[in-house]
Structure 1
Amino acid sequence: MSSPISGLPLQGKTAIVTGASRGIGAGVALELGKRGCDVIIIYNSPKSAELSQEVVSRITSLPHHPKALAIRGDLREPQAPESIVETAKSWLIANGRQDKIHILVNNAGMELVKRLGEITPEDFASVYDINVRGTLLMTQAVLPYLSERGRVINISSVGARAGFPGLSIYCSSKAAIEGLTRSWAAELGHNGTTVNTVNPGPVQSEMLDNIPKEIIDAQKKATPIQNRVGTVEEVADVVGWLAGEESRWITGQTISASGGWAMY
């Protein structure tokens, strides 16, 4: 791997970002590309295909011309992660690269707004299959190809440590991500690999539109920095830092990216 160009600390590295056709995932993919990384973005629905290609175009149009690829994969399907990684490996080899993944960002997720008495087993499975099992299986699939000093960055939510009415399935699934992170950090650190979680507060995105307005308004009022929601770019900057060498002594941690709404 060549030495990184000044200002491109992730040059020569490859990242996979799940749920990267829009919102935080797209912002993270673009930020990693700006830092010199080649980026493989994962999307699910057919309607996300065009959005994913737009993200690819934005990355490959950067002045230093990083490579990017969009792969469709439904993380609700247990076999999807292995299929995604096989496609990614073939692409890397075709582009003269080693079949190594340096950074995995587990961002794909879904929310559900339902009161306790309304939740069905199907509701539970739909959220946990993506938010928790999908994160687990995606990380397992990448593990044989994860480089030394690799980075696994999980995207959770401040909801993991907060109680919001109607969001028990979502919040509990995000709390599970924190538990996975701590255990994986203990398992994978022998070769310099770090595993961390980023917990965004409310971020202006399509997903935010589905959260009850009263919850968002209350969060704004309780946010020390400017009483506002965050931006995709602000969260992506935190992920970009965790992906780099500067964060090498940080592992097993959950970082609140919430403007101080949540202070851990």
Structure 2
Amino acid sequence: MSSPLTLKGKTALVTGGSRGIGAGIAFELGSRGADVIIVHSSPRSADKAQEVVKKITSLPHQPKAVAVCGDLKTTTAPAAIVAAAREWLKSQGKEDKINILVNNAGVELVRPLGQITPEDFAGVYDVNVRAPLLMTQAVMPYLPAASRVINISSVGSRAAFSGMSVYCSSKAAVEGLTRCFATELGHNGTTVNAVLPGPVQSDMLENIPQAVIDIQKNNTPLQHRLGTVEEIAAIVAWLAGEDSRWVTGQSISSSGGWAMY
């Protein structure tokens, strides 16, 4: 059954949109009518990004989509991404407005205390924390009233996993950004929320220790299983729509009940 076109006429920008959860989010937003700008990190991911573009533009209602390359490890990428997005919107005869920003791009690190280097810390925080901040600032001038900013955090932000202190703390920082952004952007009806997935069956899960995954599955009330990309994408799409207009500054556990806030 096709999704209702609740986002028709909207433009969404999704970072980390070439694979995994990001690709699923981009497709779900497109399936609900949004035109989608898919940000990927390097020429190596261009083919994957184009696959997502093709999947979106092949939908029956023919939403528009484009892939934009930008390495969010750098401080210059956000402004360059937004400039490229504006040029594309102009080429499509659309206003240079971005209604939905999904800060999804992220990196993981599994390294025990005592072996973490400053470079490890910077590598994670530059992408997981600094990039959402700079992306939101870059998009701000082009956010119309009642826009949506959705940050992808993790249940790890409030959990204690051995060897994952840098990653988990970076996702806790994303929650802090979310609450503060919500207070600053809410004057015109714009909402800012965070989605906190539990373990999801995707390629990024391969970097997480199996013992951590097994513990989470065994303690997940709903069916003792992993989540799916589609389930996370549906939550993001709801937050992107009009029905979520009275929800802001929230961190939503999307984990089958593994984490209950």
Pairwise TM-score range, normalised by the shorter structure: over 0.9
TM-score (norm 2): 0.98
What does residue range 202-241 of structure 1 map to in structure 2 within 5 Å? 202-241=199-238
| Corresponding residue number in structure 2 for 1:67 | 64
Q: Distance in 2 between matches of 1:172 and 1:27?
A: 25
Q: Distance in 2 between matches of 1:7 and 1:257?
A: 22
Q: Distance in 1 between matches of 2:30 and 2:9?
A: 11
Q: Distance in 2 between matches of 1:113 and 1:65?
A: 41
What does residue range 15-164 of structure 1 map to in structure 2 within 5 Å? 15-164=12-161
Q: Distance in 1 between matches of 2:239 and 2:132?
A: 18
Aligned residue among 230, 245, 248 for 1:248: 245
What is the letter of the counterpart of residue 109 of structure 1?
A: G
Q: Give the superposed CA RMSD.
A: 0.7
Runs of 4+, deviation exceeding 6 Å: none
Q: Following TM superposition, by how much is the alpha carbon of 1:147 offset from its aligned partner in structure 2, in angstroms?
A: 1.1
* Residues paired across the two proteins, number: 259
| Corresponding residue number in structure 2 for 1:171 | 168
TM-score (norm 1): 0.97
What is the letter of the counterpart of residue 174 of structure 1?
A: K
| Corresponding residue number in structure 2 for 1:3 | none
Q: Distance in 2 between matches of 1:9 and 1:198?
A: 20
Q: Which runs of 5+ in 2 are unaligned?
A: none
Q: Distance in 1 between matches of 2:44 and 2:82?
A: 22
- The superposition leaves residues 156-197 of structure 1 with CA deviations (integer Å, 9 ceiling, x where unpaired) of 000000010000000000000000000010111000000000
Q: Following TM superposition, by how much is the alpha carbon of 1:94 offset from its aligned partner in structure 2, in angstroms?
A: 1.2
Q: Secondary structure at the match of 1:118?
A: coil
Q: Distance in 2 between matches of 1:224 and 1:237?
A: 20
Q: Which runs of 5+ in 1 are unaligned?
A: 1-5
- State the percentage of identical aligned residues: 69
Q: Distance in 2 between matches of 1:73 and 1:231?
A: 26
Q: Following TM superposition, by how much is the alpha carbon of 1:45 offset from its aligned partner in structure 2, in angstroms?
A: 2.5
Q: Distance in 2 between matches of 1:48 and 1:257?
A: 27
Q: Following TM superposition, by how much is the alpha carbon of 1:7 offset from its aligned partner in structure 2, in angstroms?
A: 1.9
Q: Distance in 2 between matches of 1:189 and 1:136?
A: 16
| Corresponding residue number in structure 2 for 1:192 | 189
What is the letter of the counterpart of residue 225 of structure 1?
A: L
Q: Distance in 1 between matches of 2:82 and 2:154?
A: 26
Q: Distance in 2 between matches of 1:186 and 1:45?
A: 33
What is the letter of the counterpart of residue 260 of structure 2?
A: M
Aligned residue among 3, 8, 21 for 2:5: 8
- The superposition leaves residues 188-224 of structure 1 with CA deviations (integer Å, 9 ceiling, x where unpaired) of 1000000000000000011101100000000000000
